[in-house]
């Protein structure tokens, strides 16, 4: 059994030596992939914050009772509350009013 163990880990053959270089290369590639993943996920968090901002979409952060539009003829039109977009103040909602 000891001979089988030695022959498996021996570097006497050229094919065995190439196997270790492949393993080392795969480990290095995995480390590089993890580093790139961490870099891009931290930067995409800032981008996501800008894309989900209420004001960037033309909305207005108000309380639900103030999400109305008064037309020129005095008619009151209720706006649309969008929960998908974020407001800095958690007591307000993103409101899209008709124009």
Burial state string for 16-41 with b = 16 or more CB within 10 A and e = fewer than 16: eeeeeeeeeeeeeeeeeeeeeeeeee
Tell me: do 34 and 63 sit in the same domain.
no
Indicate the number of domains in the chain.
2
How high is the pLDDT of residue 18?
79
Whole-angstrom CA distances from 35 to 22, 38, 46, 78 are 20, 5, 18, 48
Tell me: do 8 and 47 sit in the same domain.
yes
Tell me: do 45 and 71 sit in the same domain.
no
| CA dihedral sign of residues 78, 79, 82, 85 | negative
**Mean pLDDT, residues 13-28:** 82
Residue span of the structural domain in which 63 resides? 55-96
Tell me: do 40 and 68 sit in the same domain.
no
Question: In the predicted model, is pLDDT for residue 99 greater than 70?
Answer: no
CA dist 65 and 8 (Å) reads 75
29-38 residue pLDDT tens: 999 999 998 8
Tell me: do 7 and 30 sit in the same domain.
yes
CA dist 38 and 31 (Å) reads 11
- The answer to whether residues 92 and 61 touch, using CB atoms and an 8 Å cutoff, is yes
Place of tokens 């998908």: 84
CA dist 77 and 57 (Å) reads 20
38-88 residue pLDDT tens: 887 776 665 565 677 787 778 888 888 888 877 777 777 788 888 778 788
**pTM of the prediction?**
0.46
């Amino acid at each position: 059994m000891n001979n089988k163990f030695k022959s498996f880990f021996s570097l006497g053959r050229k094919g065995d030596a190439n196997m270790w270089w492949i393993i080392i290369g795969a480990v290095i590639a995995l480390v590089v992939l993890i580093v790139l993943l961490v870099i891009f996920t931290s930067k995409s968090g800032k981008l996501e914050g800008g894309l989900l901002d209420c004001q960037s979409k033309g909305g207005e952060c108000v309380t639900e009772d103030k999400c109305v539009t008064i037309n020129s003829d005095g008619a009151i039109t209720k706006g649309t509350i969008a929960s998908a977009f974020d407001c800095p103040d958690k007591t307000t909602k993103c409101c899209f009013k008709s124009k």
